[in-house]
Amino acid sequence: MQLHELIAKQDLYYQSGATRSVRFRRDQLWRLYRALAAHEDETLSALRTDLGKPAFESVASEIIVVQEEIRSAINNLGRWSRPKLALTSILSLPGLSMSIPEPKGRTLIIAPWNYPYQLTLAPAVAAIAAGNCVVLKPSEHSPAVTTLLTKIIREVFPEEYCAVVTGGVQETTELLRHAWGHVFFTGSTRVGRIVMKAAAETLSPVTLELGGKNPAIIDDDVNVEDTARRLVWGKFFNTAQTCIAPDYLLVHERVKKPLIDAMKKQINVFYGADPKTSPDYGRIINEQQFDRLVKLLDGASIIAGGDHDRAQRYLAPTLLEDVTLDHPVMADEIFGPILPIFTYKQIDEALAIAKRQPNPLSAYIFTRNHSLARRIVRELPFGGGCVNTTLAQFTNHHLPFGGIGASGMGSYHGKHGFVTFSHYKSLVVTNFWMDMPVKYPPYGMSHTFLLMIFRFMLLPTKLTARLRRSKT
């Protein structure tokens, strides 16, 4: 089917009102849940094929995340979709004010390859929960998962409701030529700019989930062993092909050596003396990404790892030190198992380095000093993060997940995804038995007097009290 025919069919289906009832949305989410559960073994196999991902990581970071999104939507959909009462302006009294969540219409979800299952389906769950029609565009770089998702979606939904469009840049470009109720993109900052520019031509609202150079700042009072364990896990999970992974470390000079020693030890504990043979360590997605990562090692001081095998798309967990800030490894998000380590003496030095980069998607702070943690959180702009752990902000669907500036705009997860894919229609309801004549012309002195009183009532409470005290 041609794309314009699919879009026309989805428009007709949405306009029929079929997607709007809460019962319909719940039914569709249950159907999706059961279908995904039935294909779980195939999902594990597809993720292993595309990314070499171990089953534990696939279940923990892909399958369970989507299941939790579906459960949350089903359990809370009735409450989320109710009109929300609001206070009514004095000029509209007597009246009732409310905002009514309604679907945005036909939505487009463009997904990446690094978590190809959950970064395709989790936004789709939010779009379905909000009552929209959906077109999914999975990544061409994770073909096994894309093939499986296409099969599942076609089994569960009619294409006029939810459809998959496969292909590469050409197909994505064609999709973006059309107007959408909402475009949800997850990927690189570079491509995010292209998506936003294309969406601007049709005035389609956009959510961008991008990336960035995520710092991890380590104070000198930390538990070194625990810090090393959590950093190594957060960095090399999914072979470090994670948009919220620590991208570089800023380590207090007093703990640099013991932390590096502990991290080397932890890499060995996790993946063995030869991570290439470990069933728990994945692979780089393709040769293009592999070549890009290996090139970043040129001229760098490698203190752990560094070995690689292009035929297997294998790159060992790698630590670097004595890297300059103008080295290519610091130019863009690494998005691979390479971790540069910098040192600092004073926290101002660390913050200065972190602030040189565009606002990151995540930041991680390791310290026992609560005031220091608060200062870093206050002074360093970032999408979300953790204190004394890594990645945990993503797994809590009660928290909004999203970036700021170059790392993205908008958020989702749980109710926040429902809000993203909904338009909140404002409504004021009045009656005929009473009216406020003061708002109608002709305007006289009484109108002006009442308007001055009204303006005084609008002053902030503390300011009003201060004005009263000054008069007395």
Give CA–CA dist 338/329, Å, rounded. 9
Backbone dihedral angles phi then psi of residue 290, each to the nearest 5 degrees: -60, -50
Catalytic residues: 209, 243
Give CA–CA dist 102/104, Å, rounded. 7
In sequence order, the 6+-apart residues with CB closer than 8 A to the CB of 409 are 206, 207, 208, 402, 403
Q: How many CB atoms lie within 10 A of CB 99?
A: 15
Judge whether 427 and 92 are in contact, CB under 8 Å: no
Q: How far apart are the first and last CA of the chain?
A: 78
Give CA–CA dist 231/244, Å, rounded. 12
Q: Kindly list the distances between the CA atom of residue 104 and the CA atoms of 56, 130, 138, 386, in Å, as whole numbers in the listed order.
A: 36, 8, 21, 33
Position of tokens 């009183």? 453
Give CA–CA dist 412/251, Å, rounded. 32
What string of DSSP letters covers 384-445?
A: EEEESSSSHHHH-TTS-B---GGGEE--BSTHHHHHHTEEEEEEEEE-SS---GGGSSSP-H
Tokens standing for residue 304: 């752990």
Give CA–CA dist 77/124, Å, rounded. 15
3-class secondary structure, 84: strand
Classify the C-alpha dihedral 165-191-393-334 as positive or negative.
positive
Q: How many CB atoms lie within 10 A of CB 1?
A: 9
Backbone dihedral angles phi then psi of residue 103, each to the nearest 5 degrees: -65, 160
Position of tokens 């007709």? 12
Q: At what angle do helices 22-38 and 64-80 cross, to 10 degrees?
A: 170
Tokens standing for residue 145: 């998962």
Quick check: bond before 437 cis, omega within 30? no
Q: Radius of gyration over alpha carbons of the chain, in Å?
A: 26
Of 306, 246, 315, the C-alpha closest to 284 is 315
